[in-house]
């Protein structure tokens, strides 16, 4: 699991059937890298979230048939990122 910050929604109307109608979010890691994750929990821009990756991401999506390798597992209520680790915005 990793802790990432939601940058915003990814609107993608043409997609493979395996993604179903799951919401997609663009996430940023503390090093500045971007990731796309399935969002079954309703995270919003600015939220810190923890993610589930690999085959477990399909279970976390709530439907093993969803094609994903990264799913938001939850919205973090309280967490202070270390001041010396990457961007805070």
Domain boundaries, position 9: 2-75
CATH of the domain at 31: 2.40.50.220
pLDDT tens per residue across span 26-48: 999 989 999 999 999 999 999 99
Number of domains in the chain: 1
pTM: 0.86
Q: Three-class SS of residue 10?
A: coil
pLDDT at 85: 56
Residue 18: pLDDT band with limits 50, 70, 90: confident
What is the rounded average pLDDT of the residues 66-79? 94
Kindly state the tokens that stand for 54. 């690999």
The length of the chain is 89
Residue 19 lies in a domain: yes
pLDDT at 81: 78
pLDDT at 63: 86
pLDDT at 89: 46
Residue pair 68/39 in contact by the 8 Å Cβ criterion: no
φ and ψ of 17, to 5 deg? -60, -30
Residue 87 lies in a domain: no
CA distance 5 to 89: 9
């Amino acid at each position: 699991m990793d802790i990432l910050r939601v940058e915003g929604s990814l609107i993608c109307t043409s997609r493979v059937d395996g993604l179903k109608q799951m919401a997609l979010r663009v996430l940023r890691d503390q090093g500045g890298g971007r990731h796309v994750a399935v969002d079954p929990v309703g995270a919003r821009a600015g939220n810190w979230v923890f993610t589930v990756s690999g085959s477990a991401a399909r279970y976390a999506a709530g439907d093993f048939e969803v094609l994903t390798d990264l799913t938001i597992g939850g919205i973090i209520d309280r967490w202070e990122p270390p001041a010396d680790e990457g961007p805070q915005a």
